[in-house]
Amino acid sequence: MKLKTIFNILFLALLTVLTVWTVFVEPRPAAGPDAIGVIMTRTSIRRYEPRPVEPGKVDTLLRAAMAAPSAGNKQPWAFVVLTDTALTDSIARHIGPARPLKGAPLAIVVCADTTRTFAGPAHDFWVQDASAATENMLLAAHAMGLGAVWLGVYPMAERTRFVGRLLGLPESVLPLGIVAVGYPAESPAPKDKWRPEAVHANRW
């Protein structure tokens, strides 16, 4: 066998090993977009394609929300998943800043079941718990190629009452906010909100 033939065989073998390695074996980063990037590039999306959000993605949004921390691990949150456009349209009509709900294929109302929270002065930690759950949901939406916007309800008394009545919420359940979700039909640039003057070292 010629030296050249041996060389060719070895070269071929090396390439085969490299190919198989890089395609099948090499440990790769997880498939999804990276967390810091998702946090930094999330921005409010207010216009959506009409196509529905897949049930698997709705499930991931809810799991992300419930993975949030909560004071004393009370997990006071509860969620109403709106796919009935009669409901989302009605909210959009009655609450001015909730207009993006008109045309959203999906909305998730983030509530707090106040029977699950602390009594006494720690009661209102539920607002922070439900807010953390909401932020997790916004980030998970962005990570899955969805667009979302957080529409504030509580503590605006009229909005809180309207949403509670429309969705038949028990007295003890308060709607903190509504996340409108869908495949983005706009692509606004994320705002640069970095303000170094908001940072203080050790004392104000």
3-state secondary structure of 169: coil
Q: Is residue 15 part of the contact set for a second copy (CB under 8 A)? A: yes
The sign of the dihedral angle between the CA atoms of 16, 20, 25, 30 is: positive
CB of 167 to a second copy, least distance (A): 5
Nearer to a second copy, 64 or 104 (CB): 64
Nearer to a second copy, 50 or 55 (CB): 55
Interface residue with a second copy among 6, 10, 122, 185 (CB under 8 A) is 122
Interface residue with a second copy among 45, 46, 53, 78 (CB under 8 A) is 78
Q: Is residue 187 part of the contact set for a second copy (CB under 8 A)? A: no
- Neighbouring residues of 103: CB distance < 8 A, sequence distance ≥ 6: 47, 48, 50, 182
Judge if the upstream peptide bond of residue 155 is cis by omega within 30 degrees of 0. yes
CA separation for the pair 105, 51 (Å, rounded): 7
Residue with token string 């980063």: 29
Per CB under 8 A, which of residues 98..117 are in contact with a second copy?
Answer: 113
Per CB under 8 A, which of residues 31..60 are in contact with a second copy?
Answer: 31-40, 42, 44, 60
